[in-house]
């Protein structure tokens, strides 16, 4: 019998979001070789908190966000392709997980050295036009690495896909950000707000963002925490650790409690690496 891996979870999420009936998904899974009890459990888990609400492909249903089961594996330690990652903290509402040991000190240093000379001032998405603008609420510099662009990047992409339990092809490239003292990223959502005209430019490729992983590449001596102001949560930047948060459920609702920001750096500097993952392949 096949196993319910990241690709099947993504398939379930996409089809639930499209409003497919439970029976049609179970039938398709049985056709693909699952036994009907296993297919039924997987479909019910995906639809879990759906109730009777209908999903709309364009915007997702409105109403209170429902916390369904996320894709990240259970347990205190997760084998993420080539590395054992520790789970330091989990929050269910919003869905936030703090990981230790996602990258070694050597890998963090290599990522910083590869980025240092290629940094450009970061931009944000203009809500109406979808264009990338340099504005004051994001005082950092960044650089993108294309998915799988060389062996080193591919190893990190594969590890992260395994940790997030989401298909590697649904991930954007890796983004490295650097903040100097005073640098910050004021609270924002990583998803593209469906009510803003500019979002359609971004969701045309790969659909909506569903979750984020921020890896800290250095220890920040003071400030620079990732903060979730709606729930009073603050994550200190420690080299090799990472914070995961998921904001789109299987119904395609978006979780407003995932409002988050990068607090001002008070001493030293801050390097992070971000992976955003989409509902569909990002090609």
Roughly how many angstroms between the first and final C-alpha of the chain, as a whole number? 30
**185 near ligand PD2 (CB under 6 A):** yes
Q: Which is nearer to ligand PD2, 42 or 273 (CB)?
A: 273
H or E element at residue 215: strand 209-216
Q: Using DSSP bridges, classify how beta strands 265-267 and 185-188 pair: parallel, antiparallel or unpaired.
A: unpaired
The entry of Zn ion, ligand PD2, none near residue 227 (CB within 5 to 8 angstroms by kind) is none
Smallest separation, CB 229 to ligand PD2 (Å): 12
Q: Helix-strand-coil percent breakdown of the chain, rounded to 5?
A: 25, 30, 45
- Tell me if 262 contacts ligand PD2 by CB under 6 A: yes
Q: Pick from ligand PD2, Zn ion, none: which does 257 bind, CB < 5 to 8 A by kind?
A: none
**Which CB sits closer to Zn ion, 16 or 171?**
171
Are the C-beta atoms of 143 and 115 separated by less than 8 Å? yes
The label of the residue with tokens 């096949």 reads 2
Residue whose C-alpha is closest to residue 14's, from 193, 277, 258: 277
Beta carbon of residue 29, minimum distance to ligand PD2 (angstroms, whole number): 35
Contact partners, residue 233, CB within 8 Å, separation at least 6: 91, 96, 227
In the bound state with Zn ion, the residue whose beta carbon lies nearer, of 184 and 190, is 190
Which 217-256 residues touch ligand PD2, going by CB under 6 A? 226
Instruction: Give the three-state DSSP class for 99.
Output: strand
Size of interface with ligand PD2, in residues (CB under 6 A): 9
With CB under 5 to 8 Å by kind, the binding choice for 214 among ligand PD2, Zn ion, none is: ligand PD2
Instruction: Give, as ranges, the residues between 156 and 195 that touch Zn ion (CB under 5 A).
Output: 190
Distance between CA atoms of residues 176 and 271, nearest Å: 7
CB of 5 to ligand PD2, least distance (A): 27
Q: By C-beta, is 169 or 190 nearer to Zn ion?
A: 190
Q: Which is nearer to ligand PD2, 41 or 222 (CB)?
A: 222
Distances from the Cα of 126 to the Cα of 162, 201, 255, 274, angstroms:
32, 11, 21, 20
Q: How far is the CB of 137 from ligand PD2 (least distance, A)?
A: 11
Site membership for ligand PD2, residue 272 (CB under 6 A): yes
Do 272 and 177 contact (CB within 8 A), yes or no?
yes
Q: Which is nearer to ligand PD2, 60 or 224 (CB)?
A: 224
CB of 252 to ligand PD2, least distance (A): 20
Please name which of 178, 185, 183 lies closest in space to residue 137, comparing C-alpha atoms.
185
Q: Which of 190, 215, 242, 264 binds ligand PD2 (CB under 6 A)?
A: 190
Q: Write out the residues near ligand PD2 by the rule CB under 6 A.
A: 177, 185, 190, 214, 226, 260, 262, 272, 274
């Amino acid at each position: 019998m096949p196993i319910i891996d990241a690709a099947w979870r993504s398939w379930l999420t996409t089809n639930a979001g499209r409003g497919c009936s439970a029976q049609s998904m179970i039938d398709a899974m049985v056709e693909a070789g699952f036994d009907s009890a296993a297919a039924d459990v997987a479909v019910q888990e995906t639809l879990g908190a759906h109730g009777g609400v209908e999903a709309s492909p364009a915007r997702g249903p409105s109403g209170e966000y429902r916390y369904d089961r996320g894709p990240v594996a259970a347990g205190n330690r997760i084998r993420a392709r080539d590395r054992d990652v520790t789970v330091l903290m989990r929050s269910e509402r919003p869905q936030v997980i703090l990981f230790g040991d996602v990258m070694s000190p050597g890998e963090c240093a290599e990522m910083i050295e590869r980025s240092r000379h290629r940094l450009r001032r970061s931009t944000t998405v203009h809500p109406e036009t979808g264009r990338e603008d340099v504005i004051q609420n994001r005082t950092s510099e960044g650089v993108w690495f294309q998915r799988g662009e060389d062996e080193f990047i591919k190893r990190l992409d594969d590890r992260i896909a395994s940790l997030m339990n989401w298909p590697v092809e649904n991930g954007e490239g890796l983004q490295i950000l650097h903040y100097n003292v005073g640098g910050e990223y004021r609270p924002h959502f990583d998803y593209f707000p469906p009510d803003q005209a500019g979002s359609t430019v971004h969701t045309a490729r790969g659909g909506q963002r569903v979750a984020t992983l921020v890896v800290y590449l250095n220890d920040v001596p003071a400030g620079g925490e990732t903060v979730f102001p709606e729930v009073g949560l603050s994550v200190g930047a420690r080299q090799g650790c990472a914070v995961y948060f998921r904001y789109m459920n299987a119904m395609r609702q978006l979780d407003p409690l995932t409002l988050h920001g990068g607090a001002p750096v008070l001493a030293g500097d801050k390097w992070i690496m971000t992976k955003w993952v989409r509902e569909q392949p990002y090609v």
